[in-house]
Amino acid sequence: MKKVLLINGSPRPMNNSQKMLNIFAEAAKKFGIETEIINLEKMNLGMCKGCLACFKTNKCFQKDGLNELVAKMEEADGIVVASPVYYGSVTAQMKTFMDRSGLLGEAHGRSFRSKLAGSITVARRWGHLGAQTDMMLWMDRTEMVHVGCGWCSATSTNDNDISSDEEGLQYPVRLAENFARIWNLEEMK
């Protein structure tokens, strides 16, 4: 059975990014893909100090759960990251996660190499492409293989609600289908 780790970069619990990840998880289940959602807002990750101690000790010196999260990422077959758009980019939580996990993965011999990865964004108006680019460049730097489905994005209303974006809500389903196609998984009956 394949497993995809879903990483939510929103600082708010039960948010639109979570909704998009839940849609992915439900679609993935039809193909027998196991998922686990990690909410970065619960972790309180500290920023990377740039000390490079991880290359000497094989772990980050900060005791905030990143070492355990990277171990889960290394065990998973795929990774999907999701972030709302904040000022045209990913959230501070997602950026901190990408900086530190990417460096630790490099310290572990480029341990994310060849893993399938996908990216999801949510915005009220604009900025999807900037946030998508940030996440895809992180995937490229860590040598993961980005799985696309068009832009896996949804746009919210002024009430911060994505439920009226019918097209956007279909993208996580297509993303899950594309993971399954690459892995040659047939839909479970």
From 90-94, 116-120, 127-131, the region with the lowest mean pLDDT = 127-131
Tell me which H or E stretch contains 36.
strand 34-39
Class of domain 3-182: alpha beta
Nearest to 102 by CA among 60, 63, 62: 60
pLDDT band at 188; cut points 50, 70, 90: low
- Helix, strand or coil, per DSSP, at residue 4: strand
- The rounded distance, in Å, linking the Cα atoms of 141 and 163 is 33
Mean pLDDT on 160-169: 90
pLDDT band at 160; cut points 50, 70, 90: confident
Query: CA 7 from chain center: how many Å?
Result: 4
Angle between helices 128-141 and 92-107 (to 10 degrees): 10
pTM, rounded to two decimals: 0.95
Provide the mean pLDDT of the chain. 93
Mean pLDDT on 160-180: 93
pLDDT digits (tens, 9 = 90+) for 11-54: 987 899 999 999 999 999 999 999 999 999 999 899 999 999 99
Task: Examine the pLDDT at 189 and tell me if it is beyond 60.
Answer: no
pLDDT band at 156; cut points 50, 70, 90: confident
Backbone phi, psi, residue 61, to 5°: -70, -20
Break the chain into its structural domains and give their ranges.
Answer: 3-182
- The rounded distance, in Å, linking the Cα atoms of 134 and 104 is 18
- The rounded distance, in Å, linking the Cα atoms of 54 and 104 is 6
Instruction: Give the largest Cα separation in the chain, rounded.
Output: 50
Query: CA 34 from chain center: how many Å?
Result: 15
- The rounded distance, in Å, linking the Cα atoms of 155 and 153 is 7
- Portion of the chain with pLDDT greater than 70, in percent: 99
